[in-house]
Amino acid sequence: MNQNRGTAPGPGAFNRRKEPVIKIIGGEFRGRNILASPGKTTRPMTAMVKKSLFDTLAPYMIDANVADIYCGTGTIGLEALSRGARLCHFAEMDRHALDLLRRNIETLNVAGSSVIWAGDVVRRLRQWLDEMKKPLDLVFVDPPFPAVREWDWSAVQETIFDPLAAKMSAGGLVALRLPAETDHPENIGDLQLARTKHYGGMKVLLLERADKET
């Protein structure tokens, strides 16, 4: 179980600027409020969608080493910590989102279970991954939808998915969220498509790492 957790500050201290707020929906922090991004470039996950996805991912969650790539304010990675993940690496470039992420981490008192990767994912992901001491068990990749619609899959395989696959445990899983209409390859390098979950205007690809040791 994660350590160094405590109670949230008062409501005024938590959200002075009246940012959007959502609730953790399961696990240790169920019902706790955290700050969310306005959702201008992606469709925020509803509670129903999040519950469906996390119910599917439950076998991968306990004591997992997790990464939340393009994390925004960390709502997905923090949900994973609430549900038993041991450590989450949060990767984000937007400064405002990073500020809200840090406030969320402070509110839930999970600094000891959190690592923040601040900067351009495409340029810096490989370096961040090289600094890890243990392989990843579960990765969430939630890029801005406008960027996804212009993706060159060969390029993003080289800069994002190949580095991730190389640093994952055997049988590790990537959950990639895309607009529903986006075409995608069946496999992305060593990541093999295991299942696609459809949710209205979005879909989540569940990609398994090929069964070999790092």
> What does the pLDDT read at residue 15?
57
Better-predicted residue by pLDDT, 38 or 119:
119
Residue at 9: amino acid letter: P
In this prediction, residue 10 has a pLDDT band, given cuts at 50, 70 and 90, of: very low
Once rounded to an integer, what is the mean pLDDT over residues 66-81? Answer: 96
- Please write the tens of the pLDDT for every residue from 137-161: 999 999 999 999 999 999 999 999 9
- Please write the tens of the pLDDT for every residue from 124-134: 999 999 999 99
pTM of the model: 0.89
Residue 46 has pLDDT above 90, yes or no: no
In this prediction, residue 27 has a pLDDT band, given cuts at 50, 70 and 90, of: very high
Helix%, strand%, coil% for the chain, nearest 5: 35, 30, 40
Q: In sequence order, what are the residues at sequence separation of 6 or more whose Cβ sits closer than 8 angstroms to the Cβ of residue 168?
A: 135, 136, 137, 139, 174, 209, 214
Rounded Cα distance between 163 and 165, Å, is 6
| Percent above pLDDT 90 for the chain | 79
**Biggest alpha carbon–alpha carbon distance for the chain:** 49
In this prediction, residue 17 has a pLDDT band, given cuts at 50, 70 and 90, of: low
